[in-house]
Amino acid sequence: MCVGCEARFRVLEVTNPQSYRLLMHELAQDIGNGKLNELGDLPSIAQIVQNWPLQNVDYVNRTVQCAACRQGFVISVETYHGLGGSWRPADG
């Protein structure tokens, strides 16, 4: 695991819209500057941030991977009912 991932290697509960939006902005920035690679489906994290609030997206489940060491991380948030979610290291 690289130094950058050591700072990310934690479970973070997303408990309100502000913490969700802040985390998504941070992820979009890290993807944009090449620190993280986004894996998976559309809409991308950048699209979610650019089109805030994104309509018709009830659940966000995205995986990102460190460009340096390949450590994976997952953000899972239920956005429609405001039940929250989490940021966590990917298993395995």
As for how many domains the chain has, the answer is 1
What is the layout of strands, in order, in the sheet containing 84-89? Answer: 12-14, 84-89, 72-78, 59-66, 36-39
Which residue segment(s) compose the domain that 28 sits in? Answer: 10-89
Query: Cα(27)–Cα(63) distance, rounded to whole angstroms?
Result: 11
Q: Are 12 and 87 in contact (CB under 8 A)?
A: yes
> Each residue of 52-86: pLDDT tens digit?
766 666 788 889 999 999 999 998 888 776 678 88
Q: Is residue 25 in some structural domain?
A: yes
Q: Is residue 4 in some structural domain?
A: no
Query: Cα(52)–Cα(23) distance, rounded to whole angstroms?
Result: 13
> Each residue of 17-66: pLDDT tens digit?
788 888 888 999 999 999 999 998 777 888 878 877 666 667 888 899 99
State both tokens at 79: 């956005």
Q: Is residue 31 in some structural domain?
A: yes
